C-alpha cells in the first residue's frame, strides 16, 4: 500500500485572526513565529518516518512548512500547483466569522468551509473546479510504486477535498500542522477502501 500524510501548513497571523486566506500571498499569510517554532518541533516527529518524497503547494506558507519539516532529511520536495488553496475571490482577506454571518447558506457548519455556488457572490474558484484538480492530482498518483510514503503539504480546504474524494465519512476542520495518514489501496485511489488516521503535532 501507498501511504499519504496530508499535512496542513503551520500557523499564520491570518489563521490566528480568523481571516480567510485562500490563495492570497500577504504578510498575514506567511508563517508567524509560533508557526515556525511548532513546525520546527514537528520536524523531529516526522524524522522518525521514512518519506520517499514530499509534494507541496506553491504558496509560501506551505513551502516554508515543507522545508522546515524536511530540509534536514533525504526527502525530496516537489511543488505541485494542483495543491494550491482554493481561490475565494473577493472573500480572500475577509473575516471568516463575518462571512459566515452574512452568507450562512454558503458554509458547511461541521467543517467550516465553503459549499454550494459560493462563487456567485465571491467571484471565487468554483468548488467543482477544485474537485477536478484534486481528482487529477490523486489520479496522477496511481502510477506510484506500492509501499511508498509520501508527504503532502497543503491547505485546509484541499485536504478536506482529498478526503471527500476518498469517500472518508468523518471530515472535521483541519488544524494547522495536523497530519492525516491515508493508507491507499493498490487498485484505485478514488475508492472507499482506504483507511484514515489523524494526529496532531
Q: Does 35 count as an annotated binding residue? A: no
In terms of residue numbers, what domain contains 155? 2-200
The per-residue pLDDT for 30 is 98
- Look at residue 142 and tell me whether its pLDDT is greater than 90: no
Q: What's the number of domains the chain is made of?
A: 1
Across 58-65, average pLDDT? 98
Q: Give the chain's end-to-end CA distance (angstroms, integer).
A: 24
- Look at residue 153 and tell me whether its pLDDT is greater than 50: yes
Between residues 72 and 55, which one has the greater pLDDT? 55
Q: Does 86 count as an annotated binding residue? A: yes
* Rounded Cα gap, residues 150 and 127, in angstroms: 25
The per-residue pLDDT for 47 is 87
- Look at residue 183 and tell me whether its pLDDT is greater than 50: yes
Q: Does 191 count as an annotated binding residue? A: no
Active-site residue numbers? Answer: 9, 85
Q: What is the DSSP letter of 11?
A: -
Per DSSP, what are the bridge partners of residue 7?
153, 179
The per-residue pLDDT for 199 is 52
Cell numbers that stand for 152 in this block: 503532502
On average, the pLDDT of the chain sits at 90
Q: Does 8 count as an annotated binding residue? A: yes
DSSP states of 122-169: H----HHHHHHHHHHHHHHGGGSPTT-EEEEEE-HHHHHHHHHHTT-S
Identify the CATH number of the domain in which residue 84 sits.
3.40.50.1240
The per-residue pLDDT for 82 is 98
Q: Does 88 count as an annotated binding residue? A: yes
Q: Is 80 exposed, middle or buried (0-12, 13-18, 19+ CB in 10 A)?
A: middle
- Look at residue 2 and tell me whether its pLDDT is greater than 90: no
Amino acid at each position: 500500500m501507498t501511504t499519504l500524510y496530508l499535512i496542513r501548513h503551520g500557523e499564520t497571523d491570518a489563521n490566528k485572526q480568523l481571516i480567510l486566506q485562500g490563495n492570497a500571498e500577504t504578510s498575514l499569510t506567511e508563517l508567524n513565529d509560533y508557526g515556525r517554532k511548532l513546525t520546527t518541533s514537528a520536524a523531529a516527529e516526522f524524522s522518525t518516518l521514512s518519506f520517499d518524497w514530499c509534494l507541496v503547494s506553491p504558496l509560501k506558507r506551505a513551502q516554508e512548512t515543507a522545508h522546515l519539516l524536511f530540509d534536514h532529511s533525504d526527502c525530496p520536495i516537489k511543488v505541485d500547483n494542483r495543491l494550491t488553496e482554493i481561490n475565494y475571490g473577493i472573500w480572500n482577506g475577509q473575516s471568516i466569522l463575518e462571512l459566515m454571518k452574512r452568507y450562512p447558506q454558503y458554509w458547511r457548519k461541521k467543517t467550516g468551509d465553503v459549499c454550494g455556488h459560493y462563487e456567485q457572490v465571491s467571484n471565487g474558484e468554483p468548488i467543482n473546479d477544485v474537485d477536478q484538480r484534486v481528482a487529477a492530482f490523486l489520479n496522477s498518483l496511481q502510477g506510484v510504486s506500492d509501499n511508498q510514503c509520501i508527504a503532502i503539504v497543503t491547505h485546509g480546504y484541499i485536504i478536506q477535498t482529498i478526503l471527500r474524494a476518498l469517500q472518508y465519512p468523518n471530515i472535521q476542520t483541519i488544524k494547522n500542522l495536523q497530519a492525516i495518514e491515508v493508507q491507499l489501496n493498490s487498485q484505485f485511489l478514488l475508492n472507499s477502501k482506504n483507511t484514515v488516521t489523524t494526529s496532531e503535532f
